[in-house]
């Protein structure tokens, strides 16, 4: 009777230990995944011109990723996952800032070229007399 | 006795207050404002519907965590919601600029084509004017020649 009680207790302890181990592992796996996603987003941002267009956002993302990696190394999976999620969205914002700046610059440049073209078209629709044809050589 | 009773009532009220009304979370408030501003941009609905939808979902998670007084989860989800809304705004603006250029290219081609047509017509006119002048000069020369031979 006493023996079986002791068995039950140790079985319970074993289950609890296994569960704790499993959930810690799950948290670390989740953190690993989120860190990998954030790393990929940072790489994309760095290749998209974010270092020039959005250095502050990029620096924030890098800092959070480093802190996520440190928390993960310290076996704090929850903090690591949260920081990696933030690093990922910060990197995406940095990339989108760079893309948006490029699109905006292209649109401004395009508008300027269109304005020049319209002005040109306006001038050439003026009466032909503004562009005199070579006068016939007068007989001497 | 009276004082003790009052303190008891105050404590009970404070505890009840804690249990029923969640603490205001600044990050959640901020996310709500950012999302409302982003939604007001017509480009967002047209070009970044999925991103703003993702932001709204994160805000719902943040609000539900705040209701349960889970401030840490509320702040995390609220931060993700705000940044996702920011992302929606940036992507929508970029796509609107791209569309502006794409539409403008059609207009530019039309103007350039019209200019080429006009130039061709002007060249044609100049050519026929020159031909007419040449014919007139030739006729005058012939007339003079005929006159001198008489």
Q: Do A100 and B84 touch (CB under 8 A)?
A: no
Picking from A92, A100, A113, the nearest residue to B93 by CB comes out as A100
pLDDT, residue B20, reads 53
pLDDT, residue A20, reads 64
pLDDT digits (tens, 9 = 90+) for B40-67: 999 999 999 999 999 999 999 999 999 9
Distance from CA of A90 to the nearest CA of B (A): 7
Q: A27-113 in CATH: which number?
A: 1.20.1270
Confirm if B97 and A103 have CB atoms less than 8 A apart.
yes
Q: Give this complex's ipTM.
A: 0.72
Buried b (16+ CB within 10 A) or exposed e, A21-50: eeeeeebbeebeebbeebbebbeebbebbb
This prediction's pTM: 0.71
The residue ranges of every structural domain in chain A are 27-113
Q: Does residue A93 carry a pLDDT above 70? A: yes
Identify from A92, A94, A109 which residue to disrupt to test chain B contact, counting B C-beta atoms within 10 A and taking the largest count.
A92
């Amino acid at each position: 009777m006493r023996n079986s009680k002791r068995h039950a207790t140790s079985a319970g302890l074993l289950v609890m230990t296994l569960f704790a181990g499993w959930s810690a592992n799950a948290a670390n796996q989740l953190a690993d995944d989120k860190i990998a996603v954030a790393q990929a987003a940072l790489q994309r941002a760095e290749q998209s011109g974010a270092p020039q267009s959005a250095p502050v956002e990029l620096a924030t993302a890098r800092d959070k990723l480093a802190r996520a990696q440190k928390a993960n190394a310290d076996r704090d999976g929850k903090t690591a996952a949260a920081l990696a999620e933030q690093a990922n969205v910060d990197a995406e914002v940095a990339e989108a800032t760079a893309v948006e700046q490029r699109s905006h610059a292209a649109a401004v440049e395009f508008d300027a070229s269109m304005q020049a073209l319209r002005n040109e078209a306006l001038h050439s629709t003026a009466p032909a007399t503004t562009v005199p044809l070579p006068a016939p050589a007068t007989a001497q | 006795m009276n004082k003790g009773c009052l303190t008891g009532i105050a404590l009970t009220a404070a505890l009840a207050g804690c249990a029923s009304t969640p603490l205001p979370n600044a990050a959640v408030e901020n996310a709500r404002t950012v999302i409302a501003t982003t939604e007001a941009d017509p480009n967002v609905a047209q070009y970044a519907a999925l991103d703003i939808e993702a932001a709204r979902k994160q805000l719902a998670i943040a609000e539900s965590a705040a209701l349960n007084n889970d401030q840490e989860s509320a702040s995390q989800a609220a931060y993700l919601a705000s940044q996702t809304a920011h992302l929606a705004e940036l992507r929508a603006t970029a796509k609107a600029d791209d569309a502006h250029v794409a539409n403008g290219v059609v207009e530019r081609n039309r103007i350039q084509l019209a200019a080429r047509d006009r130039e061709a017509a002007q060249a044609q006119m100049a050519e026929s004017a020159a031909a007419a002048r040449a014919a007139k000069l030739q006729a005058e020369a012939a007339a003079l020649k005929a006159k001198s031979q008489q």
